[in-house]
Chain A
């Protein structure tokens, strides 16, 4: 059972995007950072354990050509071995900041290149893998940036080709050992999933085809891929083989966000149907394959949820954002 905690007010309402909430947990400092996209700006704020807001900052998408100010597609904290960077993707490019958003350390402008007049050009999908930060593009390409331990000397090291349609989300986890070397999954608007092995050169291990709907959100846990789809389904696959193991008719509308509490194998799914569900992932003792159990469902009345994250590694609390809502809703277990 979960109860509503005190909400954190936002300066600007959340935009109707997917994965529109990033949370950086800093248990050592008794702080939690939240990041939400409003539209042409994104808001970062930090809060104390009871949800008391402490500081806030607004970031803008870097300007460029066009009639209106560029829109931000996603904001996400990347935890690397020696530093934490905040990455902001927009319809113009990729901006990287120190974790508090105070200093921009890198700017990568998008090259519209082969985009036809009717194609929207943008970057979307952000994840860190070791000392790399991977960012997806409208073209389906995934850019891999090599991040130094400190300073702005960030280098674009590779461009991965695997997708033909805009990337939606990227998930990573530390490699699980010899049996499963897959440590990154990328998803796109056609529902295709690409499974990768990171390294000085990333290697495409396997592809899991889509079925006509986008896959807006994806997670990776102990060699299992959890993917949320535009038709409300959550599917779990074995990362190394791409085999489908679980299919959940989870939501009545498109899923917009998934999150994981890796310590306990809890999965959070949120959708435009106003519901947030929590699932428990485990390995069956007999076959060793993945099993899922439903733990909890929460309705956020009259709210098209657009972002949801666990706020602690044990998954005992989570936060939610909704389109047009100027606050971050918080829930914690009783």
Chain B
């Protein structure tokens, strides 16, 4: 197999695992917001659903990127309902990667239907609550991402730029007008005031159909032009007292969370490179030495914890998870692919 085909294989494996029916069924069940640990655990498993492997440092970096990119998208949604449009943008892009695989395409389309069924009819108030809850997950994360810094979308203190110009949310008028009415509902006065921004009305509403112009750019491919993949650790996390308190306090419901994870992950197939075909390792740093160094110097407050299954008392759940986890090994394969992160990303974009 040539490296190029292997690469398509990796994408197909990851996407088909992510859109696996059982996995989606679990995701769509009404549930509380995941803890950071739980999400990281699921993410780790997903990232290893193919023959691709990442070392701890690269995995951390990938997760940081994903988290900050998603935070950006949720934060900048003009209206709360736009989080659904962002999700549809994600699905549209994913469908682009698996154009030639009808089975996986069908899985993604089914997920689309489910999203529309469950979220399509929610009110603005319900979307507001969803968005506010998602923002709680991202609170206090200020990791600087190179592509965001370069595009002036993020400040050097890690906070996102909120422009006071540009298109308004669908349904919002250009600020600046005060209209007064009398008791009969007739307009008796119209006064303008200086609102300080420079906005334009939205041209049209984004489409919520299976195919359509989403209008919103949030959630589309950030890497459509070849870019470096750096993130910066120093000064990234503020209010440690508030943040670490959450992870230090013993969680009496760890067992319930583990059950949830067991159901989610249980359906995931772990790929092991078989026979002469080597796995390939994705390194998001410029060199292996840099990757090692990153692992050693990562600030403690940014250690991602993956659920430790030994912590549970429940023998059965423990065994089940141990079995699943045991099937997964990080194989020390000789490097076949380029060790430069951007080369691989460039390859991904070419697909």
- Is B197's CB under 8 angstroms from A247's CB? no
* Chain B, 168-219, CB within 8 A of any chain A CB: 168-169, 171-183, 185, 189, 191, 193-197, 199
- A252 near B172 with CB under 8 A, answer yes
Q: Does A303 contact B (CB under 8 A)?
A: yes
Contacts of B175 in A (CB 8 A): 232, 249-252, 273
**Which residues in A have their C-beta under 8 angstroms from that of B241?**
11-12
Residues of B within 8 A of A189 (CB): 123-126, 128
CB pair A247–B179 under 8 Å, yes or no, is: yes
Task: Report how many residues on chain B are interfacial, defined by Cβ distance under 8 Å.
Answer: 63
Given A67-B32, A254-B79, do A249 and B174 touch, yes or no (CB 8 Å)?
yes
Q: How many A-B residue pairs have CB under 8 A?
A: 176
Report if B132 contacts A (CB, 8 A): yes
Q: How far is the CA of A320 from the CA of B35 in the complex (A)?
A: 29
Residues of chain A with a CB closer than 8 A to B129's CB: 120, 166
**296-315 of chain A: CB within 8 A of chain B:** 297, 299, 301-304
CB–CB A297/B185 < 8 A: no
Given A120-B129, A253-B172, A326-B239, does the pair A67, B183 have CB atoms closer than 8 Å? Answer: no
Q: Decide if B148 is an interface residue (CB 8 Å cutoff).
A: no
Check B196–A297 contact: CB distance below 8 A: yes
Q: Report the bound CA distance from A163 to B181 in whole Å.
A: 27
Tell which of A24-32, A104-112, A218-226, A238-246 binds the partner: A238-246
Distance in angstroms between the alpha carbons of A243 and B135 in the assembled complex: 36
Interface centre among B177, B178, B199 (most CB of A within 10 A): B178
> CB-CB < 8 A to A185: which residues of B?
none
Contact partner of A326 (CB less than 8 A), chosen from B162, B171, B238, is: B238
Judging by beta carbons under 8 Å apart, are A302 and B124 in contact? no
- Please indicate the chain A residues that have their CB under 8 angstroms from the CB of B189 in the complex: 291
Given contacts A68-B33, A275-B195, contact A12 B242 (CB under 8 A): yes
Q: Is B140 an interface residue (CB 8 A)?
A: yes
Flag B144-170 by CB within 8 Å of A: 1 or 0 each. 000000000001000111101000110
| Contact present for B176 and A39 (CB under 8 Å) | no
Query: Could you tell me if A292 and B178 are in contact, using CB atoms closer than 8 angstroms?
Result: yes
Residues of A within 8 A of B (CB-CB), count: 65
* Given A165-B123, A214-B124, A67 and B162 contact (CB-CB distance below 8 Å): no
Contact partner of B162 among A15, A249, A277, A302, CB < 8 A?
A302
Q: Cβ of A252: which chain B residues have Cβ within 8 Å of it?
A: 164, 168-169, 172, 174-175, 195, 197, 199
- The verdict on B1 contacting chain A, using a C-beta distance below 8 Å, is no
A246 cross-chain contacts in B, Cβ below 8 A: 178-181
Q: Decide if A324 is an interface residue (CB 8 Å cutoff).
A: yes
Contact with A along B255-297 (1 / 0, CB 8 A): 0110010000000000000000000000000000000000000
Residue of B nearest to A236 (CB): B180
CA separation between A293 and B32, bound complex, in Å? 44
Which residue on B lies nearest to A294, using beta carbons?
A: B193
Contact A273 B32 (CB under 8 A): no
B232 nearest CB across to chain A (Å) = 18
Kindly list chain A residues whose C-beta atoms are within 8 Å of the C-beta of B75. 304, 323
A180-204 vs B: 1/0 string, CB under 8 Å? 0000000011100000000000000
Among B80, B128, B178, B238, contact of A13 (Cβ-Cβ < 8 Å): B238
**B248 part of interface (Cβ distance < 8 Å):** no
Q: Does A213 contact B (CB under 8 A)?
A: yes
Considering the chains assembled together, what is the distance between the CA atoms of A69 and B249 in angstroms?
10
Which residues of chain A come closer than 8 Å to B80, judged between CB atoms? 230, 254
Q: Mark A267-285, 1 if CB is under 8 A from B, else 0.
A: 0000001110100000000
Give the one of B80, B155, B175 with max A CB within 10 A.
B175
Q: A244 vs B182: C-alpha distance in the bound complex, in angstroms?
A: 8
CA distance A173 to B27 in the complex (A): 46
> Do A13 and B239 have beta carbons less than 8 Å apart?
yes
Contact of B224 with A by CB under 8 A? no
Q: How far is the CA of A69 from the CA of B131 in the complex (A)?
A: 19
B228 beta carbon closer than 8 Å to chain A? no
Asked whether any CB of chain A lies closer than 8 Å to the CB of B5, the reply is no
Q: How far apart are B69's CB and chain A's nearest CB, in angstroms? A: 16
Contacts of B197 in A (CB 8 A): 252, 273, 275, 299
**Is B316 at the interface (CB under 8 A from chain A)?**
no
A231 touches B182 (CB 8 A): no
Point out residues on B near A: beta carbons under 8 Å: 30-33, 35, 75, 78-80, 123-126, 128-129, 131-133, 135-136, 139-140, 142, 155, 159-162, 164, 168-169, 171-183, 185, 189, 191, 193-197, 199, 238-239, 241-242, 246, 249, 253, 256-257, 260
16 extra interchain contacts, Cβ-Cβ under 8 A, other than A212-B171, A294-B194? A11-B239, A15-B136, A16-B139, A68-B33, A69-B249, A71-B133, A188-B125, A189-B124, A189-B125, A216-B128, A231-B172, A233-B173, A252-B175, A275-B197, A292-B178, A302-B162
24 contacts between A and B (CB under 8 A): A12-B239, A12-B241, A15-B132, A68-B33, A168-B125, A190-B125, A212-B124, A213-B124, A232-B173, A232-B175, A245-B180, A245-B181, A249-B174, A251-B172, A251-B175, A253-B172, A274-B162, A291-B189, A292-B180, A297-B193, A302-B155, A303-B162, A323-B75, A323-B135
